[in-house]
Structure 1
Amino acid sequence: MTDALISPAIPKPLPQSESPAKLAILASGNGSNLEAIAAAIDREDLNATIQVVIYNNPDAQVANRASDRGLPAVLLNHREFDSREALDRAIINAVKDHDAEWVIMAGWMRRVTEVLINAFSKRILNIHPSLLPSFPGIRAVEQALTAGVKVTGCTVHYVELVIDSGPIIMQAVVPVQPDDTLQSLQTRIQTQEHRIYPAAIAIA
């Protein structure tokens, strides 16, 4: 069995007369999904602009990726906020200051609150490394290996208050091989993440 898309077909690029979607990317780590989204924009597979990259770890590689592409980047170190709600209010301000309309969580490792969700209702997307509703929450790939499932994958969904519970936009299946390690399975899942996230943004 090979990797497979199991949600709506990847759409053609939007007509150029359509206004580009204005994205704020939230990331905590390497930023590979930022790179995939930016590359899709470069190829004109996604009619969008990245208005700002918001990150919460001072050493996150995503900041370097943003700099290399000339994208504005804002550090909001979660350790400097006294509550999740306070961090979310700062995120809202940064998104609005950069004229973004969509919040794209691309490896954002912080739980958001209704403060952010209410501010951008049905305009916050997340990607999760499992076929939701299976294996929500942290260590999803490890959960899949432990459970002994034959297939797993990744899911793009709208963000709601309950973690990984929002309506699904797109998924891709990744078979679990008998000799898979955590790293090998994560790598193949991430390849599919890079494929479906830009496509899901285009139809959201």
Structure 2
Amino acid sequence: MDQRIADIRINYSLRSLSENEVAADPLEQFGQWWQEARQSELLEVNAMTLATASADGVPSARIVLLKGFSPKGFVFFTNYESFKGKQLAENPKACLVFFWKELERQVRITGLVQKVSEEESEEYFQSRPAGSRLGAAVSPQSKVISSREWLEEKYAAAEKEVSESAKNIERPAHWGGYLVRPVVMEFWQGRPSRLHDRLEYTLKENGEWDLHRLAP
């Protein structure tokens, strides 16, 4: 083992996390932490790891961007024909992880996944910059392509077909949003000596949440 890597460590000590301080609903608690993260002006505060798995359990993970959350859950957008889209079609379950290192905090969300409405996908797609809309329209995400030049040529050709206002860029049918409905949410706060605080919410059949402390 490379000891230089093994010796890398940080002693977390900024804050604590108590059962007596958190909200009864984890979505409300996330909202409180989200506001603190936003106010801290963290870079890419909405970046989150999205982990999916195929029907036979082969996992895959990547960074995506959170584009909305509500009492229903967490929303992100992508190409439905991408690798993650195919895994979600086979196995509509996912895990999201936020790591806000400046606050020494992590949130882990495990939930069930469904597509958002066509109207919600359309509204968000049309709110994106023209370049992002064109990119989504021309890129066969996750598929093998011949070269960077091929992709740029396809983009340039599509760019010529749209007006200067870019109002006529249509949302591809294979592009839209997903909603992750949480069933388990864990809030992690770094503490000294690796005795971190971990509070886990678990959704019960009646729609209420159980709250437990986990050993670090």
Would the TM-score normalized by the shorter structure come out above 0.5?
no
Larger Rg: 2
TM-score by length of 2: 0.25
**TM-score normalised by structure 1 residue count:** 0.26
Q: 1 or 2, which has the higher strand percentage?
A: 2
